[in-house]
Chains A and B, each alone.
Chain A
């Protein structure tokens, strides 16, 4: 994260905040395995209820769960008064 920030430091000249960009990059990379885990959980829950594979019934709970998670993460960032 620090290295991304360091290499993007000249972007401040065009009005971009390198700290915010590097935070977004790192969050995105972190979310990929989290999403894989959420997918697995939702699939198991649906299998336990005897549901067959259904793209929409799978994606909607994954997105809602991850939106809730994203809300919590945003709150956690605020709570630590991280304000780049």
Chain B
């Protein structure tokens, strides 16, 4: 890890924290007080802009900062209680999401065509930012609530609309940043 890598890791952990300024939206018909936040765009951006090692480590840094008690999650939440609570699976899954997205994006980063890269990034962000996050978060939530895993994951489909918005925004940003500021 060079000094440059360390600065970028710190920067994207800070960007994830900054996305938490937007307040969380808790909808009554969604399960167990899982809020809709802009912060789940953090791992999508970190993975797709920084790549495998730096992106994943930046999310790991963010999770550690939350775990030691800084109120960085949206709505000013934070601390070990949130990490181990009902919605903690989602937060921990961001690390794996960033690793998955970063691994894939590094493979397709040097294709010439922007459209090919955009499609690839879109699929990778859906795979990492939606499937990994909701699978891990859903299983954690199901264990926490003593309910069926399948039913819980099905009930998370209420987040589909916000997920589509986040994936679209993250993909557009990833493509624009790759064109204007190539990183990897």
- Bitwise interface map of B from 1 to 23 toward A, beta carbon under 8 Å scored 1, else 0: 11110111111011101100100
Interface size class of B (residues with CB under 8 A): 20 to 34
**Total residues of chain A contacting the partner, CB 8 A:** 30
Give Cα A83 to B6, complex, Å. Answer: 12
- 6 other A-B residue contacts (CB within 8 Å) besides A28-B17, A66-B11: A28-B11, A29-B14, A35-B18, A56-B173, A63-B15, A74-B4
List the interface of chain B (C-beta within 8 A of A): 1-4, 6-11, 13-15, 17-18, 21, 45, 49, 61-62, 65, 70, 169, 172-173, 176-177, 180-181, 183
Interface residue A1 (Cβ < 8 Å from any Cβ of B): no
Q: Is A32 an interface residue (CB 8 A)?
A: yes
C-alpha spacing A77/B10, complex, angstroms: 14
In the complex, the answer to whether A67 meets B183 with C-beta atoms within 8 Å is yes
Contacts of B65 in A (CB 8 A): 25, 28-29
What total count of A-B pairs have CB within 8 Å? 86
Answer yes or no: A64 CB below 8 A from chain B CBs.
Answer: yes
- Could you say which residues of chain B place their CB within 8 Å of the CB of A39? 18
- Which B residue sits closest to A77, measured CB to CB? B3
Are B14 and A23 in contact (CB-based, < 8 A)?
no
Interface class of chain B by DSSP: helix
Considering only residues 42-57 of chain A, those with a C-beta below 8 Å from chain B are 55-56
* A31 within 8 A of partner (CB): yes
Closest to A17 in B: B1
Distance (whole angstroms) from the CB of B90 to the closest CB of chain A: 21
Given A55-B169, A59-B173, A63-B177: A78 and B15 within 8 A (CB)?
no
Chain B hits for A60, CB < 8 A: 173, 176-177
Q: Is the CB of B169 within 8 A of A56?
A: yes
Set B3, B70, B173: member contacting A63, Cβ < 8 A: B173
Can you name 24 A-B residue pairings with CB atoms under 8 Å? A20-B6, A24-B10, A24-B61, A27-B10, A28-B11, A28-B13, A28-B61, A29-B65, A29-B70, A31-B13, A31-B15, A32-B14, A34-B14, A39-B18, A60-B173, A63-B15, A66-B11, A67-B177, A70-B8, A71-B7, A73-B7, A74-B7, A74-B8, A83-B3
